[in-house]
Amino acid sequence: MAVKGLGKIDQTYDGKHIKVGILHARWNSKIINALVDGAIKKLKELNVSEENIIVESIPGAYELPFGTKKMFEKYNVDVVIPIGCLIKGSTMHFEYICDAVSTQIMQLQFQLNKPIIFGVLTCLTEEQALERAGLLPGMHNHGEDWGACAVEMVLKWK
């Protein structure tokens, strides 16, 4: 039996009744700003009202898991999109932060039983980050994907 529509969105989602938290790190602000803007743009396209989009900032990516948990508690949101950008340098810092943040965000979803959209770029070069933020010609802003994913995950599993 063939699966129809594999890889395609399975229905139209209307986010007019959901509340979304966006939590972003301040490091790599040019990239982060573009990703946050992309997420907000897509959320609005999917009918999430501006007053139901709460945006907070934190120092860095390492603080994203704790900040995400606190966004759920403080704002009673349906979903959080933690946004960060890690770019590999010459030390092991990149590997440790990527692993810790990824693991904690995944575990937090199951602890809270709420969707958390993994909006953390883990790039080997600044150029890769700029591409994924849609800041280079012809490239796509991944923040838009995260906004669409947030709406779908809330509505699909309510």
Nearest CA to 128 out of 25, 38, 28 is that of 28
Please state whether beta strands 20-25 and 79-87 pair in parallel, antiparallel, or not at all (unpaired): parallel
Spatial distance between the Cα atoms of 89 and 69, rounded to a whole number of angstroms? 28
Catalytic, out of 17, 93, 140, 142 = 93
17 as an active site residue: the answer is no
**Alpha helix (H) residue ranges in 46-92:** 64-75
Which active-site residues does the annotation give? 93
